[in-house]
Amino acid sequence: MFRRNFIPILILLLICFFILKPATVSEGAFNGLKIWINNIIPYLFPMSVLSNILLKYNFIYRAFERFSFISDKVLKNKYAMIPYFISFVSGYPSGAMTINTMLENKRINEMEANYLISFTNNCSFQFIAGAISFSMLNDFNLFKYIAAPHFIGAIIISFFIKNNTHYSIKRNNVRQAQITFHQAFSLSIYKSVTGILTVGVVIVIFSVFSNFFNDVLTSLSDTIHLSPYIKDIVYSLIVGSLELTNGCSIISSSSYVPLELKLIIINFLVSFSGMSVIFQTFAVTDKFELDLKNYVAYKFILGVISVLICILMFVFI
């Protein structure tokens, strides 16, 4: 009976928490809104509109079909580079949004969608280089220790899925009906606004959870007398597993953790993405049934692979 009623009971407990801790909830909500307004809308919204317009035309698919022999051999799907590239530019969860649109346009099937989303929904290069390396770590040149493991690791994940799950990818040669620019623009604006609002709601909710854990961990560390070194590592991993940006900010600002360990932790957090991004992905994939269990498992594996690549870079570069 408890398992059947777990979600309603959990929601009731959260409502009680919101009532008892209004200051914590308000602070977390405002922090989430800042992340959404400052980091998500300026980068994700314009690219979402443009990519949605592009995906309404046959041109983009024909263009990638010309290089499908490369994508088929390496990534096992002729359209895999489309969400991979858009995600590279726009970041989470633009890869998932692109896959959702491709499925809606009947360019891929549901099995392909679940295959592609495991390695093409990634962090943006701009966020890694600008927000993390330049703003948080104060050294732009460190981006290579985060970007290379992340994007190379995503390609490696595609090999891992290919060799162990034996997806039978169905090829699609569908031509979309001709559409006017006005229609494409209007539909893209609507889809983008809906997607951005959905992402914003998820960010705010998880920012509140992150703020709650901040208070809990602060109290615990004072009680059990954790060293600042251990506290910063544990705190960044727990908070970062909920919300990526806050976790990276915490470990980057630590004066006790050495740079190499900071980069290792950031690599894991960026590639795992955090529960906030995972639920953003879940929220924007309404055209197919996302295999959430497999997706989370592959994101965790990607985090481990990124860490290993980063360590190898320390040794050989």
Per-residue model confidence as pLDDT tens digits over 78-107: 889 899 988 998 889 889 989 998 998 888
Q: How confident is the model at residue 163 (pLDDT cuts 50, 70, 90)?
A: very low
Average pLDDT for the chain: 85
Q: Is the pLDDT of residue 172 over 70?
A: no
Neighbour tally for 96: CB within 10 Å: 27
Task: State the Cα–Cα distance between residues 246 and 206, nearest whole angstrom.
Answer: 11
At 306 the pLDDT is 97
What pLDDT, in 10s, does the model give residues 11-31? 888 788 778 888 888 888 888
Q: Is the pLDDT of residue 164 over 50?
A: no
Q: Of 90-104, 153-167, 252-266, which gets the smallest average pLDDT?
A: 153-167
Task: State the Cα–Cα distance between residues 270 and 256, nearest whole angstrom.
Answer: 21
Task: State the Cα–Cα distance between residues 99 and 83, nearest whole angstrom.
Answer: 6
Task: State the Cα–Cα distance between residues 25 and 27, nearest whole angstrom.
Answer: 6
Task: State the Cα–Cα distance between residues 119 and 154, nearest whole angstrom.
Answer: 5
At 168 the pLDDT is 45
Q: How confident is the model at residue 149 (pLDDT cuts 50, 70, 90)?
A: very high
Q: Is the pLDDT of residue 133 over 60?
A: yes
Q: Is the pLDDT of residue 135 over 80?
A: yes
Task: State the Cα–Cα distance between residues 269 and 64, nearest whole angstrom.
Answer: 31
Q: What are phi and psi of 43, to 5 degrees?
A: -100, -45
- The position carrying tokens 């929904």 is 121
Percentage of the residues of the chain whose pLDDT score is greater than 90: 33
At 190 the pLDDT is 86
Task: State the Cα–Cα distance between residues 151 and 270, nearest whole angstrom.
Answer: 11
Query: Residue 69 burial (CB < 10 Å; 0-12/13-18/19+)?
Result: exposed
The predicted model gives 49-77 an average pLDDT of: 79
